[in-house]
Amino acid sequence: VTNRINPNIVNAIDPPIDEANSWLVGRTFTDEKPLLNLAQAVPSYAPSKDLTNFMAERVQLFETAQYGP
């Protein structure tokens, strides 16, 4: 069996949010004129440890796997 990558994936453009973030390298912003980050989908930082710990605990619960109460 040969694994092939879908050509639509190979030919996809670079993520626009990453591209926009690259424009900020080496720039600084003052308190008077802060950067207004409107990128909503992809944070440029890891989730907090509190969040990942909470999620790790919750995914192990039977109730979490149910569709309703």
Q: How far is CA 15 from CA 20, 47, 49, in A?
A: 9, 20, 26
pLDDT surpassing 90 at residue 10: no
User: Residue 52: what pLDDT?
Assistant: 96
Domain locations along the chain: 7-32+44-65
- In tens, the pLDDT along 14-66 reads 778 888 888 999 999 999 999 888 876 667 788 899 999 999 999 999 998 88
Token pair of 48, please?
A: 């907090």
Cβ-contact 17, 40 below 8 angstroms? no
Q: How many CA atoms lie within 13 A of 30 on its CB side?
A: 2
pLDDT surpassing 80 at residue 69: no
What's the pTM value of the predicted model, to 2 decimals? Answer: 0.42
